[in-house]
Amino acid sequence: MPELPEVEVTRRSFANAITGARIEAVVMGKPLRWPLGCDPQLLVGQQVVGLRRRGKYLLLDMEQGLLLLHLGMSGSLRFATDMPEAGPHDHFDLVTNRGTLRLHDPRRFGAVVYAASEDSPVAAKLLGGLGMEPLSEEFLLPTFQAGLKKSRMPIKQLLLAGRLVVGVGNIYASEVLFLSGIRPTTVASRIGAARVQKLHQAIRSVLARAVEMGGSTLRDFSNADGMAGHFQTAANVYGRDGQPCHACGTAIELIRQGQRSTYFCRQCQRP
């Protein structure tokens, strides 16, 4: 599933190209997870004024309203001036005078939703429960520490939930917990101040590095230019069960938490 780094990499790959473009047509394919929420003709003639990200949503701002785009489990976006004919897994084309933005999604868990404003009920429903942005100035250590102290959840599952901080997906949660020396099963409220600070710093550094490396491509992720990510090649623990820890040589272990794979080093990461 594309996580925050992959979505941010996607945003950066076509934000400049589409900003200022005029929408000429909207082509709808098979139904996605949620309906568009407006007549497609409402979008025609509008100018794109910017492209933002909130959590794993891309927000395409227009002169009137915005589109919220989500890549779901297997979706990807392409932006090109010479887009080929749509295939069976291409479900949304936004045709502009600068190129076509296409959502490709074999499993159709992705979404393109129109909202009149970011304060409208549909946007509030999708974005209202999201936690702090880890790569922004709002990701404050005291707020993060206070949120951990209130939770009895295992730390990895709390990070994945996205209510305290967004974007720490499965790969990145394993990596940040390794760097901060915290066992993934540790109850969040039991983590001391020193390790909370290390965890806060690790979240920032791991996600920033993932963005720099183009995200992670485990199956078929690529950005809007078709480029794959490479962060998975630099992982310390993720996907390395049975292999020696880079720090101590102990075999990396694999457990299941909430039906997700968790990788950790028993020696380097303490409860």
Q: pLDDT for 170-207, tens place per residue? A: 999 999 999 999 999 999 999 999 999 999 999 999 99
CB 207 within 8 A of CB 199: no
**8 noted as active-site residue:** no
pLDDT at 212: 86
Give the pLDDT score at 213: 85
The percent of residues in the chain predicted with pLDDT above 70, rounded, is 94
Tell me the chain's radius of gyration from C-alpha atoms.
20
Strand partners, 113: 68
- Phi first, then psi, for residue 47 (nearest 5°) are -100, 140
Which parts of 150-271 are beta strand (E)?
A: 253-257, 260-264
Tell me if residue 260 is catalytic.
yes
Average pLDDT over residues 111-119: 97
64 near 81, Cβ under 8 Å? no
3-state secondary structure of 80: strand
Residue in 113, 141, 265 with CA at minimum distance from that of residue 200: 141
Is 56 labeled as catalytic in the residue annotation? Answer: yes
Check whether 74 has a pLDDT greater than 60.
yes
Q: Which position among 12, 54, 198, 260 bears the catalytic label?
A: 260
Ligand-binding site membership of 91 (annotated): no
- Known binder of ligand: residue 230? no
State the catalytic residue, choosing from 53, 56, 108, 195.
Answer: 56
Place of tokens 């090109």: 80
pLDDT single digits (tens) 207-266: 999 998 877 655 554 545 555 555 777 889 999 999 999 999 999 999 999 889 999 999
Q: Is 2 a catalytic residue?
A: yes
Q: What percent of the chain has pLDDT over 90?
A: 85
Q: Which two tokens stand for residue 189?
A: 């409220």
